């Protein structure tokens, strides 16, 4: 296991800059998620880490060694693409053994390792098949097996779940987590889905505008975003500008009690599921603008003296409410987060 470090990476396609000084480390033996909206450059960063793309500037280090100019086949990082890219003319077993053959390992050893890896990924008995005869989930597992059988220093996964149906995702997610834990392979996963990143990784780096906007444990980014952009990406929709006076904050919806003192102008944010029905701390009277039933939750647009707050309640909590109703809500002080930047 080796630490992967990307330092000050810049890259552009033509006139458009994609990466602007991206710095990120994936700790040795850990699973790190690189999260960002589509087109933010996270796949570009992964390709640079894999050596498939040369950065305009910056350094890639694996286990402390500068590999920026080392070709992909000799840098100890193996990338698994978004679509499995199994080689169609080879059998599944030949696909999984491809990298070992390229490393000129003895045939008997290769066969043994391939068989073990096929079994580990739930593909036993499918080694003789052609890739075209596999289901989408099996193909994705074969692609993962093909990379892991090499025991790479660093494993790079590009959107490993996005080509799968929703039903197969949790199984694949569990397999990735299990294999990563068993092998202790330093792993960097790229994804655009914040829930997927949170479920997979203990350390998440959110990438916005070509650089890392915030990184840390997913719970922390969730609860304490450093900026409105980060908060928005993680699903926050309510932002209240105002002025802190100690543990009280004057906002467009009235004075709000804070759990930690704040002085001066700033912006408060609160997650939709943290806005609760009924009376409590920071009780407000709101007019229901719209209620949207989403299955496991109901999304409410609430008007408090001209400011719209978005709340996410259990359907039972929102039952019987219709637009125009006046409802009592409260904003628990510990869930009001003051953004460090404006």
Partner 1 sequence: MRPALVWLAAALLLLPLLPLIPWAFARGWFFPDLLPSRWSLAAWDYALSPAGGLLPALGVTTLIAALAATVSLALALPAARALGQRSFPGKGAMMLLVLAPVLVPGLAVTMGLQGLMTRAELTGTLAGVTLVHLIPVLPYATLLLAALFSGLDPDEEAQARSLGASPAAAFARVTLPALSPGLAAAWALGFLVSWSQYAPTLVAGAGQVQTLPLLLFAFLSSGRHDIAGAIGLVYLVPGLLVLALASRTLGRGLGASR
For partner 1, the binding residues (CB under 8 A) are 47, 50-52, 71-73, 77-79, 81, 83, 85, 87-89, 98-99, 102-103, 146-147, 150, 156
Neighbours of 94 (CB within 10 A): 18
- d(CA 116, CA 118) in angstroms, rounded, equals 6
DSSP 8-state secondary structure symbol assigned to residue 26: E
Residue 306 CB burial class (10 angstroms; 0-12, 13-18, ≥19): exposed
Tell the smallest beta-carbon distance from residue 9 to partner 1 (Å). 18
The residue (of 12 and 332) whose beta carbon lies closer to partner 1 is: 12
**What stretches of 133-202 show up as alpha helix (H) in DSSP?**
136-148, 166-183, 194-200
Tell the smallest beta-carbon distance from residue 101 to partner 1 (Å). 9
Tell the smallest beta-carbon distance from residue 86 to partner 1 (Å). 9
The residue (of 53 and 226) whose beta carbon lies closer to partner 1 is: 53
Report the Cα–Cα distance between both ends of the chain, in Å, rounded.
40
The residue (of 47 and 141) whose beta carbon lies closer to partner 1 is: 47
The most distant pair of C-alpha atoms in the chain lies apart, rounded to whole Å, by 75
Distances in Å between the Cα of 238 and the Cα atoms of 138, 220, 274, 324 are 42, 18, 11, 20
**H/E segment holding residue 325:** none
Token pair in block for residue 283: 């009780």
- d(CA 227, CA 211) in angstroms, rounded, equals 14
Tell the smallest beta-carbon distance from residue 48 to partner 1 (Å). 12
The residue (of 52 and 226) whose beta carbon lies closer to partner 1 is: 52
Tell the smallest beta-carbon distance from residue 3 to partner 1 (Å). 19
The residue (of 52 and 297) whose beta carbon lies closer to partner 1 is: 52
DSSP 8-state secondary structure symbol assigned to residue 73: G
The residue (of 87 and 293) whose beta carbon lies closer to partner 1 is: 87
Token pair in block for residue 253: 């919806």
Neighbours of 116 (CB within 10 A): 13
Is 207 within 8 Å of 219 (Cβ atoms)? no
The residue (of 50 and 302) whose beta carbon lies closer to partner 1 is: 50
Tell the smallest beta-carbon distance from residue 28 to partner 1 (Å). 20
The residue (of 71 and 306) whose beta carbon lies closer to partner 1 is: 71
Tell the smallest beta-carbon distance from residue 146 to partner 1 (Å). 7
Token pair in block for residue 313: 């309640």
Tell the smallest beta-carbon distance from residue 51 to partner 1 (Å). 8
């Amino acid at each position: 296991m080796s630490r992967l470090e990307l330092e000050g990476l810049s890259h552009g396609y033509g006139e458009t800059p994609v990466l602007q000084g991206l710095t990120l480390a994936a700790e040795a033996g850990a699973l790190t998620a690189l999260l960002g909206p589509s087109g933010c450059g996270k796949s570009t960063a992964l390709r640079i880490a894999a050596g498939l793309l040369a950065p305009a500037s910056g350094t890639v280090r694996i286990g402390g060694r500068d590999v920026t100019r080392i070709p992909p086949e000799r840098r100890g990082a193996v990338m698994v693409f978004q679509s499995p890219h199994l080689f169609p003319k080879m059998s599944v077993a030949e696909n999984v053994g491809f990298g070992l053959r390229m490393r000129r390992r003895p045939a008997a050893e290769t066969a043994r390792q391939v068989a073990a890896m096929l079994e580990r990924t739930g593909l036993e008995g499918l080694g003789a098949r052609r890739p075209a005869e596999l289901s989408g989930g099996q193909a994705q597992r074969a692609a993962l097996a093909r990379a892991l059988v090499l025991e790479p220093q660093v494993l790079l996964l590009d959107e490993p779940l996005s080509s799968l149906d929703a039903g197969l995702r949790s199984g694949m997610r569990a397999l990735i987590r299990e294999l990563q834990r068993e092998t202790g392979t330093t792993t960097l996963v790229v994804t655009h889905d914040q829930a997927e990143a949170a479920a997979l990784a203990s350390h998440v780096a959110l990438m916005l505008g070509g650089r890392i906007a915030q990184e840390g444990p997913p719970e922390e980014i969730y609860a304490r975003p450093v900026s409105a952009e980060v908060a928005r990406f993680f699903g926050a929709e309510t932002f209240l500008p105002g002025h802190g006076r100690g543990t009280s904050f004057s906002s467009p919806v009235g004075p709000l009690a804070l759990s930690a003192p704040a002085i001066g102008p700033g912006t408060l944010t609160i997650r939709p599921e943290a806005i609760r029905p009924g009376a409590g701390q920071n009780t407000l009277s709101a007019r229901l603008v719209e209620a949207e039933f989403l299955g496991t939750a109901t999304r409410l647009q609430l008007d408090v003296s001209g400011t719209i707050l978005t709340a996410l309640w259990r359907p039972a909590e929102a039952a019987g409410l219709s637009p125009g109703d006046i409802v009592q809500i409260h904003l628990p002080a510990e869930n009001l987060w003051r953004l460090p930047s404006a």
